[in-house]
Amino acid sequence: MEQYPRVEIEFYNYQVSLVKGELTRLQEEIVQLQSEYPNLITFITDQFREELLAIEADTYAEFVPTGRLNKELSLSLDQEPVEF
């Protein structure tokens, strides 16, 4: 079994605090951007949806002709999203 070099606990704690600080900063920036641009979430969601549809379509296009899928399925992401 491969052994990894040990890290000093002080250095480790310092790195953890840096990462946590950066996460906090990014979360605050996200909140600020969401309040400044309320349509941003909808825009990003639509962009991801389009990317996922393209991936799903490409996968079906590859798997159906090779027999990995017995029939072509309707794209699951092509349906309207359900509101919660």
Q: What is the pTM of this model?
A: 0.46
Query: Between the CA of residue 12 and those of 3, 5, 8, 24, 25, what are the distances in Å?
Result: 17, 13, 6, 18, 20
Query: Between the CA of residue 60 and those of 56, 72, 82, what are the distances in Å?
Result: 6, 7, 23
pLDDT at res. 56: 85
Q: How many CA atoms lie within 13 A of 1 on its CB side?
A: 2
Q: Which residue has the tokens 């990014």?
A: 26
| pLDDT digits 0-9 by tens, 14-64 | 999 999 999 999 999 989 988 999 888 888 889 999 999 898 888 888 887
